[in-house]
Amino acid sequence: MFKKILIANRGEIACRVIKSAQKMGIKTVAVYSDADKNALHVRMADEAVHIGPPPANQSYILIDKIMDAVKQTGAEAVHPGYGFLSENRLFAEALEAAGVAFIGPPAGAIESMGDKITSKKLAQEAGVTTVPGYMGLIADADEAAKISAQIGYPVMIKASAGGGGKGMRVAWNDDEAREGFKLSKSEAASSFGDDRIFIEKFITQPRHIEIQVLGDKHGNCLWLNERECSIQRRNQKVVEEAPSPFLNPATRKAMGEQAVALAQAVDYCSAGTVEFIVDGERNFYFLEMNTRLQVEHPVTELITGIDLVEQMIRVADGEKLAMTQDDIGINGWAIENRLYAEDPYRGFLPSIGRLSRYRPPVEESTPEYVVRNDTGVYEGGEISMYYDPMIAKLCTWAPTREAAIEVMRNALDGFEVEGIGHNLPFLSAVMDHEKFTSGEMTTAFIEEEFPDGFDGVELPTAALKRIAASAAAMYRVAEIRRARVSGRMDNHERKVGRDWVVSLQGQNFPLTIDADKDGSTVTFADGTVHRVASDWTPGDLLATLEVDGETLVLKVEPISAGYRMRSRGADLKVRVRSPRNAELAGLMLEKLPPDTSKMLLCPMPGLIIALEVAEGDEVQDGQALCTVEAMKMENVLRAEKKGIVSKITCKVGDSLAVDEIIMEFE
Ligand code: ADP
Ligand code: ADP
Ligand code: MG
């Protein structure tokens, strides 16, 4: 077995690989850019080599820099993680030439699967079902429309070199086909330097279901069941699970066998994934093969008990797989939620900054349930704008899907993240969504269910009252403490009133509290009574309460006259006031936010990479004004209405904070 391996990656996946290596007694080498000097993967590894400035194209994806680090440390093998160099044929070849093992598939397999047209042809030859379509060269937009009509609308127009959801358009008629062809072609040329386009049928009611494969260098190849990845935004996955609630054993077996047939057609060894799109009738069609460890591999590990990273390392060292297809079963159900540093309240745009608080739930492994959190960050660490906004993958396992979802809900409740925008409340909302719990989701789930984005779920009155009762009981405790600290009274409890008005989500609840040594009894004006008990003390940011015997977990942040409380998908400003103050508050005018209608504000922290207009220019509705780059995404900001640019307050190359002014209009 190798004595030392290098991990050519960062973040959670670098940490994940280091864990398996350590378990196997293998020494590890991390590489890091200037932005990652203090990163978790650097702290975890036995050695670390600095490879350059923060941008990935000056550090993590420079083959020469990685090769130097390999030579310098004497690593015998390299694990590439996902992203970066993981699907780079030249990197696999450079390692081979240097006599260093690549912990991944052969360069030839990377190459043939890296191109969508080539891989689709190979798949057809291997007897894999592919999406009906046309794979010849398409001359122009008119020909694209003709071919699309022959295939039958709707169609998907795709870049052969595409990836990450880019260079892809759906068209429902000839005009859209012409337009989509032009857009995909130019996007493909600029993003991938390769503008070959093909067209296939757009599968409706689509679900994304993929098969994990694992092969060795002795001709053995297995399928390790499927993962359902239909919950996506911008064609990128957010929630995954294994198995899929949609497959039956026969479809699973058919998909598994086709995936293995394709893998064997390219002499695949190592872990890989064959992605399929599945329609409402369970017809499945090959999409593409990812020749690397996939982000969502933990859910497969949780239901099969196989450590995929360990297997990749063993296979790279020439070992034969120690199991056969008959050994692979499905044990229970696993769910992964990707925690992203992106603000659900701002259209899921990336957010950066210092993690002032980062307390994941406790990882546990019992026969009844498992909580696993793959992470690459720590409290006090910095989320920079240079890399992917994913900061952790929270996974749960339980014997049934229902139980796994319930474990996930509770794990999300206990996950504390502050200092940056993040999608925890959104994930909670998905876990509670009827379409998700019933297992009836398609890839359009987020678009359809959250068409205007996400700004927290609205809670039903019964839930609001439980929170109101808790807030009142907590506020009372805090008031007593304040009275005690000020030391003016000798019997503080008597001075703190019994009557309160709690306001949240636009509703006012007058209520009365009677406290005893075990908790509080809260009586609402309509006569309903709630019993609240907890050991919360003022200052705690996480409150675990018993309300009428049921557990309620709240994230609590003091604000004036109350708390910001987050619970599941809801984010509430809860005010607790005396009846007199509540009356006064009702008379006060809402403070108006400053008028920003004549300004273009930076919607996310990022770098200005292009300014399309100058001072004095007249701009039309929809015209591009500038481009901001953040976390690998280029965002074109457009004029919302016709106007004249009066002032530009930044220049190309400036790093702006969120809400900083870019330009002003007359
Ligand atoms: P990428 O390389 O960008 O991951 P894929 O071909 O894997 O590209 O497609 C990404 C996503 O786009 C899929 O998960 C699916 O949601 C959607 N998609 C791709 N092709 C089709 C199709 N023919 N019909 C419907 N949806 C599709
Ligand atoms: P998968 O198909 O495996 O779910 P995705 O396409 O969702 O993968 O995400 C893979 C992407 O993650 C890569 O293409 C890359 O942009 C990004 N990435 C690369 N390295 C890291 C890392 N260390 N941490 C987080 N994200 C990364
Ligand atoms: Mg894909």
Are 217 and 302 contained in the same domain? yes
pLDDT band at 596 (very low <50, low <70, confident <90, very high): confident
pLDDT in tens, 646-657: 999 999 988 888
Q: Are residues 537 and 571 in the same domain?
A: yes
Neighbouring residues of 555: CB distance < 8 A, sequence distance ≥ 6: 416, 541, 542, 543, 565, 566, 567
Q: Which atom of ligand 1 is nearest to the CA of 203?
A: 24
For strand 101-102 and strand 27-33, is the pairing parallel, antiparallel, or unpaired?
unpaired
Residue 380, phi-psi category: left (phi > 0), alpha (psi -120 to 50), beta (remainder) = left
CA 66 / ligand 1 centre spacing (Å): 32
- Decide if pLDDT at 631 tops 80: no
Mean pLDDT score, 462-474? 96
Q: Find the mean pLDDT for residues 388-401.
A: 96
Q: Calculate how far, in angstroms, residue 493's C-alpha sits from the geometric centre of ligand 1.
A: 62
Q: What percent of the chain has pLDDT over 90?
A: 78
**Domain tally for the chain?**
5
Last residue of a domain, one of 201, 233, 258: 201
Could you tell me if 394 and 297 lie in one domain?
Answer: yes
**How far, in Å, is the centroid of ligand 3 from the Cα of 295?**
12
Burial class (CB in 10 A: 0-12, 13-18, 19+), 466: buried
Name the residue at shortest CA distance from atom 12 of ligand 1. 235
Helical axes 174-192 vs 141-151, angle rounded to 10°: 120
Query: In the predicted model, is pLDDT for residue 592 greater than 80?
Result: no
Whose C-alpha lies nearest to ligand 2, atom 4? 295
> What is the number of the ligand closest to the CA of 443?
1
pLDDT of residue 493: 55
β-pairing verdict for 207-215 and 270-278? antiparallel
Question: Active site includes 288?
Answer: yes
Atom of ligand 2 nearest to the CA of 388: 26
Q: Using CA atoms, how far apart are residues 437 and 404, in angstroms rounded to an integer? A: 11
User: Which residue's alpha carbon is at the smallest distance from atom 22 of ligand 2?
Assistant: 11
Is 567 strand, coil or helix? Answer: strand
Of the ligands numbered here, which is closest to the C-alpha atom of 117?
Answer: 1
Nearest CA to ligand 1 atom 11: 235
Question: Is pLDDT above 70 for 411?
Answer: yes
Give a yes or no: residue 568 inside a domain.
yes
Which atom of ligand 2 is least distant from the CA of 165?
A: 6
Q: What is the mean pLDDT of the chain?
A: 93
Three-state SS at 226: strand
Structure tokens at 543: 């409150």
Residue 385 and residue 265 in one domain: yes
- pLDDT (mean) for 397-419: 96
- We report the CATH number of the domain holding residue 660 as 2.40.50.100
Residue in 31, 295, 387 to alter for ligand 2 test, most ligand atoms within 8 A of Cβ: 295
Q: Is residue 114 part of a domain?
A: no
State which H helix or E strand residue 82 sits in.
Answer: none
Residue 178 has pLDDT above 90, yes or no: yes
CATH of the domain at 96: 3.40.50.20
CA–centroid distance, 209 to ligand 1, in Å, is 11
Q: Tokens at residue 119, please? A: 């891989």
Domain that holds residue 65: 4-103
Top-confidence residue, 660 or 164: 660
Q: Is 272 in the pocket of ligand 2 (CB under 6 A)?
A: no
- Which residues lie closer than 8 Å to 590 by C-beta, 6 or more apart? none
Nearest residue by C-alpha to atom 16 in ligand 2: 83
Ligand 2 within 6 A of 84 CB?
A: yes
Closest ligand, as measured to the CA of 161: 1
d(CA 34, CA 50): 7
Structural domain includes residue 385 = yes
Residues 426 and 418: their CA atoms lie apart, in Å, by 15
Among 37, 40, 31, 35, smallest CA distance to 376 is for 40
Nearest ligand to the CA of 8 is 2
Same domain, yes or no: 482 and 613: no
From the CB of 164, is ligand 2 less than 6 Å away? yes
pLDDT at 490 over 60: no
**Residue nearest atom 22 in ligand 1 by C-alpha distance:** 202
Stretch 488-493: mean pLDDT? 55
pLDDT band at 594 (very low <50, low <70, confident <90, very high): low
* pLDDT reported for residue 597: 78
d(CA 568, CA 458): 11
- Residue at token pair 């502050």: 418
Distance from residue 84's CA to the centre of ligand 2 (Å): 8
What's the pLDDT at 632?
A: 64
Do 474 and 383 share a structural domain?
Answer: no
Please indicate whether residue 528 or residue 486 has the higher confidence score (pLDDT): 528
Is residue 446 one of the residues assigned to a domain? no
pLDDT tens digits, one per residue of 272-287 = 999 999 999 999 999 9
Pocket test for ligand 2, best of 227, 230, 237, 388 (most atoms within 8 A of CB): 388
Name the strand (E) or helix (H) holding 474.
helix 461-486
Q: What is the atom index within ligand 1 of the atom nearest the CA of 200?
A: 23
Chosen domain end from 561, 585, 609:
585
Cβ 157 vs Cβ 185: under 8 Å: no
For residue 510, say if its preceding peptide bond is cis, omega within 30 degrees of 0.
no
Burial class (CB in 10 A: 0-12, 13-18, 19+), 291: buried
* Cβ neighbours of 342 (radius 10 Å): 25
CA 347 to ligand 1 center in whole angstroms:
21
| Centre of ligand 3 from the C-alpha of residue 139, in Å | 26
Amino acid sitting at position 93: E
Enter the pTM of the model: 0.85
* Cα–Cα dist 202/82, whole Å: 27
Using the atom order of ligand 1, give the atom closest to the CA of residue 167: 3
Q: Which atom of ligand 2 is nearest to the CA of 296?
A: 4
Instruction: Kindly state whether residues 615 and 660 are assigned to the same domain.
Output: yes
Worst-scoring range by mean pLDDT, 84-98, 135-149, 398-412, 482-496? 482-496
3-class secondary-structure state, position 540 = coil
Give Cα 455 to chain centroid, integer Å: 17
Residue that has been written with the tokens 């598994």 in this structure: 256
243 and 325 part of one domain: yes
Q: What is the pLDDT of residue 584?
A: 83
Instruction: Report yes or no on 451 lying in a domain.
Output: no
Residue nearest to atom 10 of ligand 2 (CA): 83
In 3-state terms, what secondary structure has residue 524? strand
From 176, 288, 336, 342, the catalytic residue: 288
pLDDT of res. 162: 87
Residue whose CA lies nearest to ligand 2 atom number 15: 83
Mean pLDDT to the nearest integer, 117-139? 94
Task: Decide if pLDDT at 424 tops 90.
Answer: yes
11 lines ligand 2 (CB under 6 A): yes
In a domain, 414, yes or no: yes
Query: Does 83 contact ligand 2 (Cβ within 6 A)?
Result: yes
DSSP code string of 312-343: HHHHHTTPPPS--GGG----SEEEEEEEESEE
Residues in CB range of 132: below 8 A, 6 or more apart: 151, 200, 201
Sign of CA dihedral 457, 462, 465, 470: negative
Same domain, 169 and 273: no
Residue 232 is part of a domain; what is its CATH number? 3.30.470.20
* Residue 418 confidence (pLDDT) above 80: yes
How many whole angstroms from 178 Cα to the centroid of ligand 1? 20
Q: Quick one: 563 and 604 in the same domain? A: no
The CA distance from 452 to 450, in Å, is 6
CA distance 364 to 406: 15
CA of 445 to the centre of ligand 1 (A): 14
Instruction: List, chain by chain if needed, residues with CB within 6 Å of any ligand 1 atom.
Output: 131, 156, 162-165, 200, 202-203, 206, 208, 232, 235, 275, 277, 287-288, 443
For residue 287, which atom of ligand 1 is closest to its CA? 6
70 CA to centre of ligand 3 in angstroms: 30
- C-beta separation of 247 from 282 below 8 A: yes
Is pLDDT of 234 > 90? no
Q: Which of 149, 183, 201 is the last residue of a domain?
A: 201
Q: Give me the pLDDT at residue 532, please.
A: 97
Here the tokens at position 493 are 């409890």
Do 479 and 614 belong to one domain? no
Q: Which two tokens stand for residue 169?
A: 């358009």
Residues 574 and 661 in one domain: no
Please give, one letter per residue, the 3-state secondary structure of 598-616: CEEECCCCEEEEEECCCCC
* Residues 496-540 pLDDT 10s: 889 999 999 989 999 999 999 889 999 999 999 999 999 999 989
Closest to 83 measured CA to CA, from 150, 18, 12: 12
